[in-house]
Chain A
């Protein structure tokens, strides 16, 4: 059977500001989300990244352009803030989203996201990492064909971030579900993605792209290797030629 593929064709988004002037947020963005690939979009703040991700997830409409899938795709969007419901336990959160047939399968997902033994815990007083794991588990229970991540690691502390990076990459490698990540963080994008699109702002446009030729299974130590550092410098150099360079977040 042909694999599911998503094509984003000439997406533009405009809105009217408080004085009624038209502002172009996104301009003519085209790219493809290939099956089994982790795609990253690195862009400065205010470039319209979230809008682009929401358009792809079907939560917003573009002003122009279209998104074409060769077959029906279930796209699950994970926003930047905590999105797991604090009134449900971990298991109830998963059940809320579940398209699976048995509780045994949900139990397996709980194991994958590393929350074994926490099934009956409520997430309202838990860490952002804990809540992100639930959001990820819900996407898996919802049988997502594409998981869209909108800067979900922003507020996490460094230790949690590193744990979650490895977890996300591990889930991607084992499940083969394609991911689309929007971030301002170059290091994060290089560690997680197989292909990175670089985007500028005013208006949001793709300026370049590059393939990340790193091993599929990645550990956090990879970040200190020369090949990783070379890629980071390469991306920085591309952005340095642009005005938006300063608003990027260089996390090492």
Chain B
């Protein structure tokens, strides 16, 4: 079963990789040779030439490092905090089950709204960016956990209670373990979401990170840099996804 899951993931990766390579090939063919003066997309040659400018003029290494750190600090940090506080979160759910209605209310105030507020309060402050990313990831994961609790199979709960399992052990060894596969799936989805959220935040704040490169490239109408940055970020997200999948395979090796 485990091997099947692993080969499924490898197959999916192979398909994604082939799609990207085919897309790049078609892109190269059309915009390098067929369309002589492309305005929608730059010539592939121009994209390669834009790399030194992105590296030096746009200060890519330091800005990318900041975004990268903010994304993975938020993701890993929130996951660790959920892990540490799982007992409290699950107990909290049983004390205030009404909490599950909160995401329905928050739906009308999307992350976009809070992003604007943070950018307004703290501007380009890097710590604020980290805090915002961390809070966003934590809220998504915590509500993911809370939503999964009512789905815990009655058979598991009944048999654990019947074996006179202490309450804390019931939470950590049964409820938490049951919720882990769905929480990992959510973390995987969150990985993409947090990249987008952090970059948009940086576009608003206009001072740091990959988002600010986008902002400046838009301002100077530098299409080659926008496309080049898009390609780099896609590759980084794809690699991040592979690493997360690999870690997930090691931690969550069962299906409920």
Using a CB–CB cutoff of 8 Å, the interface residues on chain A facing chain B are 54, 57-59, 74-83, 85-87, 96-97, 122, 124-125, 135, 138, 142, 148
Contacts and interface: CB of A to CB of B under 8 A. Distances in A.
Contacts of A86: 254-256
* Majority DSSP secondary structure for residues of B touching A: helix
The 9 A-B pairs with the shortest beta carbon distances in the complex, nearest first, are A77-B162, A83-B159, A125-B1, A81-B155, A124-B254, A86-B254, A79-B155, A83-B155, A87-B177
Contacts of B255: 86, 124-125
A59 B155 contact: no
Given A80-B155, A96-B173, 14 more contacts: A59-B158, A79-B154, A79-B159, A81-B154, A86-B255, A86-B256, A87-B178, A87-B253, A97-B163, A122-B253, A122-B254, A124-B255, A124-B256, A138-B159
A57 B161 CA distance: 10
B166 to A, nearest CB: 11
Contacts, number: 58
A27 B78 CA distance: 52
A80 B159 CA distance: 10
A83 B156 contact: yes
Contacts of A125: 1, 255
A141 to B, nearest CB: 9
B8 to A, nearest CB: 14
B13 interface: no
B51 to A, nearest CB: 47
Category for how many chain B residues contact A: 20 to 34
Given A86-B254, A124-B1, A124-B254, A77 B158 contact: yes
Nearest to A79: B155
Interface in B114-163: 153-156, 158-159, 161-163
B180 interface: yes
Nearest to B154: A79
Contacts of B47: none
Interface of B: 1, 153-156, 158-159, 161-165, 173-174, 177-178, 180, 253-256
A96 B155 CA distance: 16
B228 to A, nearest CB: 44
A77 B254 contact: no
A90 B177 CA distance: 16
A140 to B, nearest CB: 11
B16 to A, nearest CB: 27
A82 B256 CA distance: 10
Contacts of B153: 81
Contacts of B253: 87, 122
A54 B1 contact: no
B162 A57 contact: yes
A85 B161 contact: no
A138 B161 CA distance: 13
23 contacts: A58-B162, A59-B158, A59-B162, A78-B159, A79-B155, A79-B159, A81-B154, A81-B155, A83-B156, A83-B159, A85-B156, A85-B173, A85-B174, A86-B254, A86-B256, A87-B253, A96-B163, A97-B163, A124-B254, A135-B159, A142-B163, A142-B164, A148-B162
Contacts of A74: 164
A125 B161 CA distance: 24
A122 B177 CA distance: 14
Contact of A87 (B154, B162, B180): B180
Contacts of B178: 87
B127 to A, nearest CB: 37
Given A77-B158, A81-B153, A81-B155, A138 B1 contact: no
A83 B154 CA distance: 9
